């Protein structure tokens, strides 16, 4: 029986950190945020998204607006950013092994689909987008129900603590990656099912374990 593997987008399939940093330096001051330096960014990377929002001084009621503005500002740079090195070959191998692949992201579905098409990432035709920063758990549960599979036969691959928490809430398995926004040592404290230091490690996880 095949396993469904869903990938986060930012930081997991594409290294979007520079695009996000540039966009925030443009947009952040409009929301009352102090200029963000590279040094401060590195300190924030080990924090949960809610802690980051608090540290930056963004009121929660303005967070959806900030996220929308950020996505728009990032789009052009993001489209020109290459996928994570080696991820295309890993996706191809997972497809050959019979696994069903897709993307679940807080980014707009149309933008993610355009990126996948432009960079020819194989097997990622199913894109669930626009989940919001903290709406992934519900989306994971809905995906399991719509596909008629047990949640434990679904693996979510991501790079943030909020991704891990969403997987836990939805009772799906989680693969933490080392090449994204949050350092792997921070993700490891949440007890992910799998830890991947390189994209090829995704080929070694026990995706068939019920």
- 50-60 tens-digit pLDDT: 898 889 888 88
Res. 125 pLDDT band, cuts 50 70 90 = confident
Mean pLDDT of the chain: 91
Q: Which helix (H) or strand (E) holds 146?
A: helix 136-147
Closest CA to 186 of 164, 204, 207, 169: 164
What average pLDDT does the segment 78-100 reach? 95
Structure tokens at 108: 């707009």
Task: Give 17-79's CATH code, choosing from 3.90.25, 1.10.10, 1.10.150, 3.30.70.
Answer: 1.10.150
At 85 the pLDDT is 97
Q: Using the Cα atoms of residue 189, residue 140, residue 111 and residue 68 in order, give the sign of their dihedral.
A: negative
Res. 178 pLDDT band, cuts 50 70 90 = very high
What average pLDDT does the segment 18-43 reach? 91
Q: Which helix (H) or strand (E) holds 4?
A: strand 4-7
* Boundaries of every domain in the chain: 4-15+84-203, 17-79
Task: Judge whether residue 1 has pLDDT over 50.
Answer: no
Task: Judge whether residue 39 has pLDDT over 90.
Answer: yes
Q: What are phi and psi of 204, to 5 degrees?
A: -100, -10
Q: Which of the residues are catalytic?
A: 8
Task: Judge whether residue 145 has pLDDT over 70.
Answer: yes
Structure tokens at 163: 């991704």
Q: Roughly how many angstroms between the first and final C-alpha of the chain, as a whole number? A: 10
In the chain, the percentage of residues whose pLDDT exceeds 70 is 97
At 209 the pLDDT is 53
Closest CA to 87 of 114, 128, 125, 121: 121
> What does the pLDDT look like over 130-139, one tens digit per residue?
887 788 999 9
What average pLDDT does the segment 115-132 reach? 92
At 186 the pLDDT is 93
Identical fold between 4-15+84-203 and 17-79: no
Res. 208 pLDDT band, cuts 50 70 90 = low
* Beta carbons within 8 Å of 185's beta carbon, 6+ residues apart: none
- Determine whether 102 is exposed, middle or buried from the number of CB atoms within 10 Å of its CB (0-12, 13-18, 19+): middle
Secondary structure of residue 76 in the 3-state scheme: helix
At 207 the pLDDT is 54
At 205 the pLDDT is 79
**In the CATH hierarchy, which fold is given to the domain comprising 4-15+84-203?**
Rossmann fold (3.40.50)
At 60 the pLDDT is 87
């Amino acid at each position: 029986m095949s396993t469904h593997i869903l990938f986060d987008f930012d930081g997991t399939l594409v290294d979007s950190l520079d695009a996000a940093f540039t966009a925030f330096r443009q947009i952040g001051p409009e929301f009352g945020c102090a200029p963000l330096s590279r040094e401060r960014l590195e300190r924030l990377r080990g924090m949960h998204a809610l802690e980051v929002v608090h540290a930056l001084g963004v009121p929660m009621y303005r967070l959806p607006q900030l996220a929308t503005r950020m996505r728009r500002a990032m789009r052009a740079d993001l489209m020109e950013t290459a996928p994570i090195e080696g991820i295309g070959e890993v996706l191809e191998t997972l497809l050959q092994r019979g696994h069903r692949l897709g993307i679940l992201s807080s980014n707009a579905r149309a933008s993610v689909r355009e990126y996948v098409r432009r960079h020819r990432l194989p097997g990622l035709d199913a894109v669930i987008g626009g989940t919001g920063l903290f709406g992934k758990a519900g989306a994971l549960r809905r995906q399991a129900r719509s596909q008629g599979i047990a949640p434990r036969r679904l693996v979510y691959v991501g790079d943030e603590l909020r991704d891990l928490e969403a997987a836990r809430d939805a009772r799906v398995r989680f693969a933490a990656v080392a090449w994204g926004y949050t350092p792997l040592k921070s993700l490891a404290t949440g007890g992910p099912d799998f830890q991947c230091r390189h994209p090829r490690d995704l080929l070694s996880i026990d995706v068939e374990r019920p």
